Structure 1
Amino acid sequence: MTTDAPVRLGFVCVQNAGRSQMAAAFAERERDRRDWAERVEIVTGGTHPANEVHPVVVEAMNEIGVDLSGRMPRAISSEELAACDVVATMGCSTLELDAERSVEVRDWALDDPHGEEFGTVREIRETVEDQVTALFEDLESRLENE
């Protein structure tokens, strides 16, 4: 990572309908809090995207003031992922990147919120938020040491 080019973060799961959507939203919020619009780019997608963000995930995020209702799951390409500095998978990926440059892949091993009760989705949401915050703390440390 260099301070000249933005750090590119990718959040990936199979359907891009739950965990990766939450992670991207938390990353956007964290980027805004730190005023890093010029320093961090965020992409999210799935290997087999669903037709919609899981309604229970939308509800759980609405509970804390984050609106995912306008978001749509999308496919993410190997090229997009290879252009990332860090890719966080949600625990459901067999992602293998064949990139010319190094891409740090972190598997967060999160439970799938699909079909879960609201209380469980809330716990998953909190874990996702903690993981994203830790990622940004790590980025801050790296960027300060460059």
Structure 2
Amino acid sequence: MTAKPSVLFVCVHNAGRSQMAAGWLRHLAGDRIEVRSAGSEPADQINPIAIQAMAEVGIDITAEEPKKLSDAAAQASDVIVTMGCGDTCPHFPGKRYEDWELTDPAGQPIEVVRGVRDEIRARIDKLITELDG
């Protein structure tokens, strides 16, 4: 792992789960950990309900945009967290992988998205503890 660990969050559309995870990690770890997010098939915009759920906890992800997953982003990351992208996520030898099974917030009501947001927060807390070592 590099001196400053880096984490890449990947989901299909890079519009919900991966954006919320990146928002949490930036918020909780500050500049101690480099944060990236991407999608195998990026959407046109971030899910407005995900934006709303994150705003409720004081995290603004409105400036983010869904990004296409690139080999360069994956290769530059120490930890790659996948969220429901299955076989569309590439695998790079020597990387630490985690697969977080989370409900896709697309088309879900705010109550469901809040639950996903809170579950992501718990996983981010654990990841930060591991990376801070």
Shift, 1:92, TM fit = 2.8
One-letter amino acid of the structure 2 residue matched with residue 30 of structure 1 = L
Q: Structure 2: where are the runs of 5+ without partners?
A: none
Is the 8 Å Cα contact of residues 40 and 85 (structure 2) preserved in structure 1? no
Aligned counterparts of 1:138 and 1:68: Cα–Cα separation in 2: 25
The match for 2:5 among 3, 7, 14 is 7
SS of equivalent to 1:106: strand
Structure 1 SS opposite 2:10: strand
Aligned residue in 1 for 2:100? 108
- Contact kept? 1:8, 1:84, Cα under 8 Å: yes
Q: Which residue of 1 is the match for residue 48 of structure 2?
A: 55
5+ residue gaps, structure 1: 142-146
Structure 2 match to 1:136: 128
Please tell me whether the aligned partners of residues 74 and 92 of structure 2 are also in contact (alpha carbons under 8 angstroms). no
Residue of structure 2 equivalent to 1:144: none
Residue 21 (structure 1) aligns with: 19
> What one-letter code is carried by the residue in structure 2 that aligns with 1:105?
Y
Partner-residue secondary structure (3-state), 2:36: strand
The answer to whether the Cα contact below 8 Å between 1:78 and 1:97 also exists between their aligned partners in 2 is: no
Mapped partners of 2:125, 2:84: distance in 1:
18
Pick the structure with greater CA Rg.
1
The alignment's C-alpha RMSD in Å is 1.3
CA deviation profile, 1:78-127 (whole Å, cap 9, x unmatched) = 2210221100011233223234xx10110001110000111000000000
Q: Which runs of 4+ in 1 moved over 6 A?
A: none
TM-score in terms of structure 1 length: 0.85
Percent identity, aligned pairs only? 36
